[in-house]
Amino acid sequence: MNYWQALLLGLVQGLTEFLPVSSDGHLVLTEHLIGVRTPGVFVEVALHVATLGSILVLYGKRFFALAGGVLARRPADLQYAGLMILGMIPAGIVGVFLEDFIAFTFHSLWWAGAGFLVTGIALWSTRRMNEGTGDRPSAPAALGIGVAQALAILPGVSRSGMTVSTGLWSKMSPMRAADFSFLMAIPLIAGAGILEARHISGGIGAVGLGPLILGCVVAFVSGIFAIRWLVALLARGRFAAFAPYCFAIGAVTLVLAAWGK
């Protein structure tokens, strides 16, 4: 992987990680178009960990306040943390036991194209769901958000798109659904990074330390912009506006897969 490829992948990751359009799907498509071939999912996980820094910049204060509340055994914080843990269980199970299958899908345009269409359907279904007032999900809703997040491990299926959509379906307010989604992502992305760290020497050897650092820095900076953009869109009730784009990029990706390009 050279520097311009790393810059492009970092920009794609940062801009699409938090917008409801699937960063994984865009990485699969971009890697295919620019000819990047990397072993496993090391590069993808490294870029995701870089965007974890973006979340911490904007949500870190709240996350650590929540952690402090848990240590102080404040009931409201304990309940919220319990809901987050419940929501992380499905993705944790999928990530640990289906690692090889997930790595396979990350090199398939077919999976990415189908995932984009799933995301588009989920987003389109929320176009009249901006009137919720709940500040946190119920236990069944948290588990449902977790299942949506587990599905979003597949390329093309947007994590923010699926989790926020599920939050909206459960009558949460758009802003609180986004808060829950981003806070829940912090330990999940960190866990994926720790799990993938065992491949760090081989991964850096395959892609190069310099390009990897550049890609991560670009992903971090652009990720901050993307989070702010998404929050602004949610405040205006424009979440479903990304559905047509997901349908279009999904169709293009499936055409490329069928064409063999």
Q: What is the pLDDT of residue 205?
A: 62
State the CB neighbour count (10 A cutoff) for residue 100. 8
Q: What is the pLDDT of residue 118?
A: 94
- Note the pLDDT tens digit of each residue in 122-176: 999 988 776 667 788 889 999 999 999 888 888 889 988 999 999 999 888 888 8
| 169 contact partners, CB below 8 Å, separation of at least 6 | 125, 126, 129, 144
Phi, psi of 134 (to 5 degrees): -65, 140
Could you give the angle at the alpha carbon of 243 between the alpha carbons of 238 and 249, nearest 5°?
Answer: 135
Weakly modelled stretches of the chain, pLDDT under 70? 37-42, 130-132, 195-207, 260-261
Q: What is the pLDDT of residue 133?
A: 73
| 3-state SS track over the chain | CCHHHHHHHHHHHHHHHHCCCCHHHHHHHHHHHHCCCCCCCHHHHHHHHHHHHHHHHHHHHHHHHHHHHHHCCCHHHHHHHHHHHHHHHHHHHHHHHCHHHHHHHCCCHHHHHHHHHHHHHHHHCCCCCCCCCECCCCHHHHHHHHHHHHHCCCCCCCHHHHHHHHHHHCCECHHHHHHHHHHHHHHHHHHHHHHHHHHHHHHHHHHCHHHHHHHHHHHHHHHHHHHHHHHHHHHCCCHHHHHHHHHHHHHHHHHHHHHCC
The span from the CA of 231 to the CA of 228, in Å, is 5
Helix 3-18 with 159-169: angle, nearest 10 deg? 0
Q: What is the pLDDT of residue 124?
A: 92
| Dihedral-angle region of residue 38 (phi above 0 means left; psi in -120 to 50 means alpha; beta otherwise) | beta
Q: pTM to 2 decimals?
A: 0.82
Owner of token pair 């491949």: 199
Could you give the angle at the alpha carbon of 178 between the alpha carbons of 182 and 13, nearest 5°?
Answer: 55
The span from the CA of 144 to the CA of 120, in Å, is 18
Half-sphere exposure of 115 (CA within 13 A, CB side): 32
| Structure tokens belonging to residue 169 | 């379906």
